[in-house]
A and B are shown apart, each in its own frame.
Chain A
Amino acid sequence: MSETKLIFQLSQPGRSAVSQAPKAVAEDKLGAIPAHLRRQQKPALPEVSEMQVVRHYTNLSSKNFAIDKQFYPLGSCTMKYNPRGANRAAMLPGFLNRHPLAPETHSQGFLSCMFELQNFLKEVTGMKGVSLAPMAGAQGEFAGVAMIRAYHDARGDEERTEILIPEAAHGTNPATAVMCGYKVREVPVGKDGDVDLEALKAACGPQTAGLMMTNPSTCGVFERQIEAIAKTVHEAGGLLYYDGANLNAILGKVRPGDMGFDVIHMNLHKTFATPHGGGGPGAGPVGVSERLLPYLPTPMAGQRDDGSYHWIDTDTLETSIGHLSAFMGNAGVLLRAYYYARSLGRDGMIRVGEFSTLAANYLLKRLEAIGCTAAYPDRRASHEFILTFAKEAKELGVTAMDIAKRLLDYNQHAPTTYFPLLVPECFLIEPTETESKEALDEFVDAMAAILEEARTEPDMVKEAPFTQPVRRLDDVKAARELDLTWTE
């Protein structure tokens, strides 16, 4: 595939997509703006025709892997099918043109969807209240830990300065704790993937504000001691935070609220099938137990006795941690999640956890059968599992990165690599419930072929990929000689 020029390189002075913009305004009509506040030269945007734009970005799109094109088994990312119907519904003119500050009289349709979505999420997670406001998983985490802090502060319990985090956790967890003004203490994970309970007990104390964890954990296994963990943290006076990154594994099977969690965030772009959009937007609603209800971020949707819907904001919920965005989070993403929830219904939601777990366990067994090494061979996979290529790296010089790159040549997106950090040379693989058995089998075939190549022509594998728009990129040059914008 050839190099695609930048849109700026297609630009010619005087060319434009005329029909896309209103007509020019006479300069004398702009006299109210003082000259010294005016721009001297027009911004150097590209001057291109409508068709050039359409062709350029269509061509660029073709350089992406995407769920609509490929199996995309990124662990902890839940790359499941994104229903097209959800997109059409969210793009209905009534939703698209609604101003976020439109009065409630002109917002009943949108508010009703949000109110119902809050209730669905409460039900499926076993929490007592839900706010849809956070705009991404990381913001949901922020809201969650900020609520933990608000809770302790409100009780005058200000000696709690530490958040405990299992060492296998995603990097956002510690980053979030710091944004909420906490110190981070990491808790070790045992050889079987479960938290080291004795170490946790030793780490808990009057300084403990809470524990952040995912379950199933980032090791791809269900944390079996979850009740003992909850008891330990609660007895120390801390609260329990559930990172919903892996909620897909247990949707409809176990509820975080029943496991003892006080606060959770959900990634609707994972579990509720909203698109990832090349890295966003997502949505990260939070759910809480009874004692954190007063602190939920605003706005939320409420319902009056007469059945009409209204906003709940900081003027009525004064203890709220407040607004995390200018308006109502990623409303359009929430509408897509609403569509998905209505589409699945009760039975559909229960099947999500079941079939994502079936797919992962099947794929794990098949990959083990062709010679892959599981990181936790004695454990059930959750909706995802870890392979380690430490042996291949040592004996053949072929790393997890090399195998990942070679998978692209087989038209398979690579799984998550080098995460969690505590397993060397690892793949974290999450097939999701929406992939057919044939698609899983094709991935196994590709992996078998690559393992064979690693033995017979390791140097070739180390140079992969060969079929993509570019070969391996010079990351060092990218960082040392920063080139972040185009100059003619």
Chain B
Amino acid sequence: MSEIPAELRYASSHEWAKNDDGTVTVGITEHAQDAMGDLVYVELPEVGQVVAAGDEAGVVESVKAASDIYAPVSGEIVEINEALEDEPELVNNAPYEGGWLFKIAMSEETDLDNLLTADQYQAQIESE
């Protein structure tokens, strides 16, 4: 059973979002990294890029798969996790900590309400 922290919100496309005073940190869930297998590359957006919720904002690659990352909320990219350039395995090892992907200065607070709670996300992956 993979870890799904209760305090985070989730997109059905397996991103997690953590809000700190309007700055939302985004990553992929433990379930998602497990399904992908060992990541070999992470493509991140550029700082300053403006995204709408649901926009493609990056790609994670393993040897045999590639998966788009969608912005869970709208806003401007204010920081990316540059450590992933050399160590994509951080996403595998610590998906909710050192393996975060990027941070968005959220423009629409209400976007968060459209995301799943931990329980809802749990229910989704059980039904997959």
Interface residues, chain A, with chain B CB atoms under 8 Å away: 475-476, 478-480
Residue of A nearest to B41 (CB): A479
Whole-angstrom CA separation of A128 from B63 in the bound complex? 43
Chain B residues near A480 (CB, 8 Å)?
40-41, 88-89
Which 9 residue pairs of A and B lie closest in terms of their CB atoms, listed nearest first? A479-B40, A475-B63, A476-B38, A480-B40, A479-B63, A476-B63, A476-B40, A480-B88, A479-B41
Of B41, B63, B88, the most chain A CB neighbours within 10 A belong to B63
Bound CA span A476–B39, Å: 8
Chain B 85-98, CB-CB to A under 8 Å as 1, else 0, gives: 00011000000000
How many residue pairs at the A-B interface have CB separations less than 8 Å?
14
* Residue of chain A at shortest CB distance from B40: A479
8 contacts between A and B (CB under 8 A): A475-B63, A476-B40, A476-B63, A479-B40, A479-B41, A479-B63, A480-B41, A480-B89
**Minimum Cβ distance to chain B for residue A286 (Å):** 30
The interface residues of chain A lying within 8 Å CB-to-CB of B41 are 479-480
Q: Which of B80-128 contact A (CB under 8 A)?
A: 88-89
Least CB distance, B85 to chain A, in whole angstroms: 11
**Which residues from 51 to 96 on chain B have a C-beta closer than 8 Å to any C-beta of chain A?**
61, 63-64, 88-89
With most chain A CB atoms within 10 A of its CB, the pick from B40, B41, B64, B89 is B40
Would you give the shortest CB distance from A37 to chain B, in whole angstroms? 37
By a CB distance below 8 angstroms, the chain B residues around A479 are 40-41, 61, 63
| Complex Cα spacing A206 to B38, Å | 43
Query: Shortest distance in angstroms between B63's beta carbon and chain A's nearest beta carbon?
Result: 4
Q: Which residue of A lies closest to B37 (CB)?
A: A476
In the complex, besides A479-B41, A479-B63, A480-B88, 11 extra interface pairs with C-beta distance below 8 angstroms are A475-B63, A475-B64, A476-B38, A476-B40, A476-B63, A478-B63, A479-B40, A479-B61, A480-B40, A480-B41, A480-B89
For B63, the chain A residues whose CB sits under 8 A away are 475-476, 478-479
Residues of A within 8 A of B40 (CB): 476, 479-480
Instruction: Give, as a whole number of angstroms, the nearest-CB distance from B103 to chain A.
Output: 25
Q: Kindly list chain B residues whose C-beta atoms are within 8 Å of the C-beta of A478.
A: 63
Closest to A481 in B: B40
In Å, the complex CA distance between A311 and B128 comes to: 57
Residue of B nearest to A480 (CB): B40
**Nearest chain B CB to A258 CB, angstrom units:** 39
Cα distance A142–B32 in the bound complex, in angstroms: 34
CA distance A391 to B101 in the complex (A): 37
Residues of A within 8 A of B61 (CB): 479
Task: Give Cα distance in the complex from A478 to B62, angstroms.
Answer: 11
How far, in whole Å, are A447 and B40 apart by their CA atoms in the complex? 34
A residues in contact with B38, CB < 8 Å: 476
Residue of A nearest to B88 (CB): A480
| Chain A residue at minimum C-beta to C-beta distance from B86 | A480
Cβ of A476: which chain B residues have Cβ within 8 Å of it?
38, 40, 63
Per-residue interface assignment for chain B, residues 10 to 28, with 1 indicating a CB less than 8 Å from any chain A CB and 0 otherwise: 0000000000000000000
In Å, the complex CA distance between A479 and B40 comes to: 6
Least CB distance from B107 to A in Å reads: 28
- B89: chain A residues within 8 A (beta carbon): 480
Shortest C-beta distance, A257 to chain B (Å), equals 37
A480 to B41, alpha carbons, bound, how many Å?
A: 7
Give the distance in Å from the alpha carbon of A479 to the alpha carbon of B37 in the complex: 13
How many Å from the CB of A425 to the closest CB on chain B? 14
Closest Cβ of chain A: how far from B66's Cβ, in Å? Answer: 11
Q: How many Å lie between the Cα of A475 and that of B39 in the bound state?
A: 11
